[in-house]
A = this chain, B = another copy of it.
Amino acid sequence: MSQPLTVSPGTKIHLKDFDARFVAGDWKKKSAAKQIEENTAISGELAYKLYAENQRALLLVLQGMDTAGKDGTIRTVMTGINPQSCHITSFKQPSQAELDHDFLWRIHKAVPPRGEIGIFNRSHYGDVLVVRVHNLVPKEEWKSRYERINEFEQLLVEGKVTIVKCYLHISKEEQRERLQARLDNPKKRWKFSMGDLAERKLWDEYQRAYEDALTLCNTKHAPWHIVPSDRKWYRNMVVSGILREALEKMNPQVPPSEPGLDGIVVE
């Protein structure tokens, strides 16, 4: 029993081949909680070093169907990271001013600067997902976006931004349960709108759009991770682990102090 988190660039992704309830090995909620704690503690230290080093940045892109758990994932992975060196951008419906530019204009502005971690709650991928499913721009236009996205991400990587992309993969049944839970919980009901059900009717179209985004933009410089997300605890463990590994690979270094500071006494 195993399931890859990443696949080789060029491989056609069929989401039905990925089990959203998958759990590797014998991970349980309790052992995962310990692992999450370790992951976030280490990521917190590395984020501090990244900030001190001030040479590179990390961008975590989170995508997923409604209720996939982007918000919950962000709360988990942020734990332990100094919020001053980590900025979250939630991409909602674009404003008129944003629509008056190319689709990457507003995204580019939100790319994290050196020393920081940026988290995108939704992203430029919306421009080949919701935009495509709802025919917000003609096919000729969104068709070329996969290539534009790959080129844009290449630009960021060359600008020393490590890109970590996670697709939070939930099953249609799990989404049903989560939407129903929102409806049934008086405290959460304000989050629910009839529009959520209309979007759910387009499940298959969204899955097809995701498959294309995951296939066509799964590059060597910015690969996709397909995270089994029906179990929240497993999803949180996996994403916190991916972030930790990315930071470990970057291996940021606290810069040397100014020379000549030995023996200085502050008056």
Q: Give the contacting residue for A261; candidates B52, B74, B192; CB below 8 A.
A: B192
Report the bound CA distance from A227 to B139 in whole Å. Answer: 58
Report the bound CA distance from A264 to B267 in whole Å. Answer: 71
With A190-B52, A193-B258 as given contacts, are A183 and B83 in contact (CB-CB < 8 Å)? no
Q: Which of A185-213 contact B (CB under 8 A)?
A: 187, 189-194, 197, 200
Which of the segments A96-104, A142-150, A249-257 contacts the partner chain? A249-257
Report the bound CA distance from A154 to B254 in whole Å. Answer: 42
With A265-B180, A267-B176 as given contacts, are A190 and B88 in contact (CB-CB < 8 Å)? no
Report the bound CA distance from A261 to B192 in whole Å. Answer: 9
Would you give the shortest CB distance from A181 to chain B, in whole angstroms?
9
The reply to whether B254 and A180 contact each other, CB–CB distance below 8 Å, is no
Would you give the shortest CB distance from A121 to chain B, in whole angstroms?
7
Would you give the shortest CB distance from A133 to chain B, in whole angstroms?
19
| Beta-carbon nearest neighbor of A178 in chain B | B266
- A7 lies within 8 A of chain B by Cβ: no
Residues of B within 8 A of A266 (CB): 176, 179-180, 183, 197, 200
- A90 lies within 8 A of chain B by Cβ: yes
The reply to whether B189 and A257 contact each other, CB–CB distance below 8 Å, is yes
Q: Give the contacting residue for A190; candidates B83, B193, B256; CB below 8 A.
A: B256
Q: Report A's interface with B, CB cutoff 8 A.
A: 52, 71, 74-75, 78, 82-84, 86-88, 90, 121, 176, 179-180, 183, 187, 189-194, 197, 200, 254-258, 260-261, 264-267
Ordered nearest first, which 6 A-B pairs have the shortest CB separation?
Answer: A189-B257, A179-B266, A180-B266, A190-B257, A78-B83, A176-B266
27 inter-chain pairs at a CB distance below 8 angstroms, sorted by A residue, are A52-B191, A71-B82, A71-B84, A74-B83, A74-B84, A75-B83, A75-B84, A78-B83, A83-B83, A84-B88, A84-B90, A87-B87, A87-B88, A176-B266, A176-B267, A180-B265, A183-B261, A189-B261, A190-B255, A190-B257, A192-B258, A192-B261, A193-B258, A194-B258, A194-B260, A194-B261, A200-B266
